Structure 1
Amino acid sequence: MKIKTFAILALAGTLAGCMSGPRVSPVEITRFHQSAAIAQLGNGTIFVEDAPGVEADPQELAPYKAAIAAELAELGYREVPRAEASQIAQVRVERFISEPAQRRSPVTVGGGGSTGTYGSGVGLGIGINLGGGQREMIGTDLGVMIRDAASSDVIWEGRASISVSDNSEFADSSANASVVADALFSEFPGNNGETVEVRVNN
């Protein structure tokens, strides 16, 4: 009996584990740009800063600014102090947690309504709750505006959103920043006003 009970519980644990595996949504991105400013994009000097009015924790924002600076350098920009920059990249980030509507234990075990001994015929009742694999989902909204330093005109703007489960490697802010920034600046500057999805390998 003990051996059979262990086997059933092991199977239940395996199923529950499969249902609660890491989940990562595609990164949804939208980009806008001024057609007349295309020649300015992807070259010259740039400074990365917080967007006006942003109240995010500087430590939370730091990995996103670093990831964006790295992407801009790959595109051909050279990061310099603000006073020397021809363009300014302003960054805002919002991260939020969406909890499952209802939390339940993934596996319940009961003694069939009464207590028995070995060979008594009392059955072991086991129920596997298919909804138990629900996890908290962490959402990230990233926005970047690139302005001409002289005129303050916005010459490019990008927005990116992703949602990951709390047991995903991309729940970590540094990994999250890297994957979202990479998607946002893929095929830069992008088609004006078009919204696309970039799938994440996990």
Structure 2
Amino acid sequence: MKQSPRVLGRPRHDDNAKPTKELVLETATRLFIKDGYKNVSMDDVAKACNVTKATIYYYYPTKGELYTSALIAMMKRIQLHIKQILEQPTAFKERLEQLVEIHLSATLDIDMKNFMREATINLSEQQLKEVHASENEMYKTIEQAMQSEMDKGTIRTGNAQFFTHTFMALMSVGYFKDGEGNRLFQTEANAAKEIIDFFWLSVKKSS
């Protein structure tokens, strides 16, 4: 039987290789992390993937769509790691400390504030909604854990959403560097301990 022609513009698929769309997204994410939105072109992504620019545009018609997908994929990975850590059978304070240490270690080279700032400037309203929805899902994972620990009596009763955003704000302090590039904390482990000790004072139950 004569093989039907491929759809025009559809990239060839190698069953033994990583799916092209996945390769493009992972490569683009690395480039966006390293150089920022403005300094990465679709041609840069194509060259890094060793594919044609037409291939990139087949999967992601605009750079905004590629950036949106990169942000969402990154947040989903972070959310998965958060969930895995918070579901461990250890003390809640220990889980939070581990979460901060691992998160800081894994995202030390990722400036999430800059990612979101560039998203606000360069993405469409609909794309921003998609990004913020993914961000909210990430926060919800922590919020649900906070509420669960309240119900168990591990921490005091309060607003789980407020606790979550306070926790995330404190965690961001772990990235702080002064004007000369010196970090506030020497190690991620030290940052995690200091941050959680401080946070725990506000959420622990009164004796």
TM bucket normalised to smaller: under 0.3
TM-score, normalising length: structure 2: 0.20
Q: From the CA coordinates, give the structure whose radius of gyration is larger.
A: 1
Flag the structure with more relative contact order, 1 or 2, with Cα contacts below 8 A and sequence separation at least 6: 1
